[in-house]
Amino acid sequence: MMHDPNLTLPEGIFISYRDPQESEGMAVSELLKSITHAAPALAHHPSGAPYLPKYPEQTISISHSDHLVAIGLVAEREAHFGIDIEEKEDQAARLLVRYSTAIERQLLKSFGLSPLLLWCAKEAAYKAYSKQITRFSSQLTLTNATSEAVSIHIQPSEGPETSILVRYHQLPNGALLTYTTPHSTPLPIRWISQDEPLI
């Protein structure tokens, strides 16, 4: 199949409400259709990471919660890009010891951050490096935080260690959005039904 190298979708993170009774696949398909005004096929790499065969020069990341679905797009092939959206603060707090170290729990207290932020940041970082991460809790560690982002240190199974910035935003409905990006500037975040950026 021939690909048009100039064929791209807008960069950003697109969020929509979803009916909890609706399947995740259907919610993603409907949001993709709203973004692209079509219904491009969605495929998956062996690692499970999604991609759009019709748009090979872009990287896509997908996340969903009980009431929301989010799709992130960047105009770079196989970028280290991942998003996560979550609403379950109580579950993140209850399971904190399973996905954090004692040092990370102390850093959360020092920075005044929630367990949900740590979970979401690690999930976004995992999606960005899914081909190189096999142990979620031990290969991804929190090292620093600001009012807009946290730093996650990555110890891949192969290759050099690195650190990435994971940006975070509290959404109006109380959900938390995190994302990594290959850019130095934040991505636009849009509710798909609105014309103006959410953030």
Does residue 2 have a pLDDT over 80?
no
Burial class (CB within 10 angstroms; exposed 0-12, middle 13-18, buried 19+) of 76 = middle
How confident is the model at residue 178, as a pLDDT? 98
Does residue 69 have a pLDDT over 90?
yes
Cβ-based neighbours of 2, under 8 Å, separated by 6 or more:
none
Structure tokens belonging to residue 68: 């929301």
pLDDT in tens, 114-137: 999 999 999 999 999 988 888 888
**Whole-model pTM?**
0.90
How confident is the model at residue 37, as a pLDDT? 81
Distances (CA, A) of 158 to 82, 103, 166: 19, 24, 21
CA torsion 43-129-14-71 (nearest 10°) is 20
How confident is the model at residue 7, as a pLDDT? 67
Distances (CA, A) of 68 to 123, 137, 184: 16, 25, 26
